Amino acid sequence: MGVQLGAWLAKARQFYVVGDDAGAIEAAERGLNALGPTHERTPDVAIDLAVVRLRALVRGGDPSLAVEALRDSSLRDRAGLHASEWLGLEAVAFERDAQTLPATVALARWREAVQDGTASAAYAELRLRALSPAIPRDALPPAIEALPERSAARQCLERTAGIAEGPLRAPWVEACGSGSGALGILLPRSGKFAALADEQLAAVSVALPILVAGGAPPVVWKDSGSTPEEARAAAQALAGAGVHVIVGPVGPANVQAVEAALGDRVTLVVPGEGRSGVAPSIEARIDALVQHARRQGITRFVVAAPENPYGQRSIAALRARLGARELQSLIVQTYAPETTSFAPTIAPLLPALRRGAAVLLPDHVSRVELIVRQLARSGKAPRPIADDEGAFVLSTAEGLSERALGPGHEILAGLWVAPTAVSDGAASEFATAYRERQGEPPGDQSLLVFFALRKAITGVGGEGAQVMRIEGGRLVAPEQTTNPP
C-alpha cells in the first residue's frame, strides 16, 4: 500500500508542477481514497496528498471546493504550513469564488504577514487596491472588529472604509482603499518606436504569469507613442485611472517628460536606463569594459564609433574613464551611421592594434559584426587575450541576443561585450516560456521588459553592467571562458 500511495503522491506533485491542476486533484483524491479506513491511514502521506489537492484546487480547481477545503484549519497545523502561506491560499480562493469581502480581509492579513519587497507583498497590494472599491462600506465594520486592534491589516480595512486615524502602522497601508490595483503598461504602439511593440507585448504576456503567483494583476495599457508629448499624455491618463506603478516608456526624452509630469504620484519603472530604469547606463557599461580590459593587460585604446549622439556619448564616457597616459595614446575614428563597408574606417587603425591595445566598438551588434568581419579580413580577428595574433575587441553590442549569436554569426566569437540585458537565473523561466510561445529566444528588449515588470511587481531590480565573452554562440562569464593558446 505504501508504494502505491507514494506513486499517487508523486503523480499528484508532478501534475501540479507542470500546471495540470485537474490531474493533480484527481491523483491526490485517488490516493486519499486508497488509504482505507481511518485507523489504517498513513498520516504523512495523507497530509501530503491533502496539501497537493488543496493547492491545486486554489490555483485552478473548483473555487468553492477550495474554500471548503480551507475550512479544515487543522490541515495547516498538521502539514506545518506557514500562516502566511495559508492566508495567501485563502485570499486567492475567496477571490476566485467571488467572495470579495473575505478575500479582502485575507489579502490584508496576508500582506501583513509577508516581507516587504516580495512578489507576494506586491500581489497582495495590487489585489487590495483592485477589490476594495467593490466592497459596500457598511459591510466593513464587522470585518474590522474581528481583526486585532493594533494590526496593520485592521488599519488597512479602516482606510478602505474611510475611518482610519493615527499614524500608519506599516508603509504599505497608505495605498489601502485607493487606486484600481492595476499595473500600467506604457509602451509604444505607434511612431518611430513602434517596431518594438510586438516584442514588448509578447514579453509582457509571457512575464506576468511567471512573476505573479495566483494569476496576473489587472493591466491597463496605453500607447506611449514616440514623442514626449504623447508619452506624457498617456502617463497622465494612466495615473488618472488609479494605477500606482507604470512600466515604460522608452526613449530618454519620453522618460524625462513622464518623470516630470508624474513626480512622486506614481512609481515609474523603465525598460531602459536612467533614474527609473533597469538597464545599466552606457557610461556604466563602458566603465565595466575598460576595467576588464585593464585586468587583461590593456594599456592603449582605439575607438571606432558612429557619428551620432550614441557614439558621442560613448566616446565621452571612455575619455572620462581613462588616465592621462591612456588619453595620450587614445585613437578615435568615427563613421556615418549608415556605413556598411568598413574598410576605410578600419585601415587607419590597423597599425595601432598590437599587443596591449584594445579596440572599442560602441554600436548596434549588426554594425559591430560588419566591423569585426572587416577586422578579420585584415588579419585581426577577435582574440580573447591581448596579443599580436588578432584584435582584443570590446563592444556595447546594442541589440545583442541569442538570435544575433546563432548560426552565421560565428565571427563574433571572442568579443568582450557589456550588453544592456543579460539573462540571469531568475529570467531563465521567462526565456524558456518566451521561446515556446514565440518560436525564438527573447531579445534584449524582451529581457528589459521582463526586468522592468519584475521590479514593478517584486521590487527586485536588474543587474548592473556585466562583461561577458561571446563563445560558442552564447554569452559566458569571464571566469568560464577558455582562452586559446
What whole-number distance in Å separates Cα of residue 136 and Cα of residue 230? 37
What is the mean predicted confidence (pLDDT) over 233-254? 87
What are the tens digits of pLDDT across the range 28-56? 998 888 876 543 455 688 899 999 999 99
> What is the band of 483 on the pLDDT scale with cuts at 50, 70, 90?
very low
Residue 484: is its pLDDT beyond 50?
no
CB 55 within 8 A of CB 95: no
**What is the number of residues in the chain?**
485
What is the mean predicted confidence (pLDDT) over 298-326? 96
What whole-number distance in Å separates Cα of residue 254 and Cα of residue 411? 36
Most trustworthy range by pLDDT among 7-16, 180-189, 329-338: 329-338
Torsion 251-252-255-260 (CA) sign: negative
Range scoring the smallest mean pLDDT among 365-374, 421-430, 443-452: 421-430
> What is the band of 485 on the pLDDT scale with cuts at 50, 70, 90?
very low
> What is the band of 217 on the pLDDT scale with cuts at 50, 70, 90?
low
Share of the chain above pLDDT 70, in %: 92
Q: pTM for the full model?
A: 0.64
> Which pLDDT does position 281 carry in this prediction?
92
What whole-number distance in Å separates Cα of residue 451 and Cα of residue 63? 32
Left if phi > 0, otherwise alpha if psi is -120 to 50, otherwise beta: which for 301?
A: beta
Query: DSSP secondary structure string, 395-412?
Result: E--BT--GGGGSTT-GGG
Local structure of 323: helix, strand or coil: coil
Nearest of 283, 215, 195, 267 to residue 452 by alpha carbon: 267
Residue 136: is its pLDDT beyond 80?
no
Range scoring the smallest mean pLDDT among 191-200, 276-285, 350-359, 428-437: 191-200
CB 353 within 8 A of CB 302: yes
> Which pLDDT does position 259 carry in this prediction?
92
What are the tens digits of pLDDT across the range 328-351? 999 999 999 999 999 999 999 999
> What is the band of 178 on the pLDDT scale with cuts at 50, 70, 90?
low
What are the tens digits of pLDDT across the range 364-417? 999 999 999 999 999 999 988 777 678 999 999 998 887 788 889 999 999 999
Share of the chain above pLDDT 90, in %: 46
What is the mean predicted confidence (pLDDT) over 269-276? 88
CB 124 within 8 A of CB 175: no
Binning the chain into helix, strand and coil, the percentages to the nearest 5 are: 55, 10, 35
Nearest of 327, 324, 368, 376 to residue 350 by alpha carbon: 376
What's the mean per-residue pLDDT of the chain?
87
User: Which triple of cell numbers denotes residue 234?
Assistant: 498617456
Alpha carbon distances (Å) from 470 to 52, 73, 135, 411, 477: 43, 54, 55, 10, 9
Local structure of 301: helix, strand or coil: strand
Q: Which residue has the higher pLDDT, 220 or 358?
A: 358
Find cell 553592467 and name the residue: 465
Residue 415 is given by DSSP the state -
State how beta strands 245-247 and 468-471 pair.
Answer: unpaired
Residue ranges of domains in the chain, CATH in brackets: 2-175 (1.25.40), 179-279+425-460 (3.40.50.2300), 282-419 (3.40.50.2300)
> Which pLDDT does position 45 carry in this prediction?
85
Residue 431: is its pLDDT beyond 50?
yes
Residue 133: is its pLDDT beyond 70?
no
Torsion 402-406-409-411 (CA) sign: positive
> Which pLDDT does position 198 carry in this prediction?
80
The β-bridge partners of 364 are 398
Residue 102: is its pLDDT beyond 60?
yes
What whole-number distance in Å separates Cα of residue 173 and Cα of residue 176? 5
Nearest 5°: phi and psi at 267?
-80, 125
> What is the band of 154 on the pLDDT scale with cuts at 50, 70, 90?
very high
> Which pLDDT does position 297 carry in this prediction?
93
Residue 217 is given by DSSP the state P
Residue 66: is its pLDDT beyond 90?
yes
Angle between helices 444-458 and 197-211 (to 10 degrees): 40
What are the tens digits of pLDDT across the range 281-308? 999 999 999 999 999 999 999 999 999 9
What whole-number distance in Å separates Cα of residue 34 and Cα of residue 28? 10
Nearest of 221, 117, 11, 140 to residue 458 by alpha carbon: 117
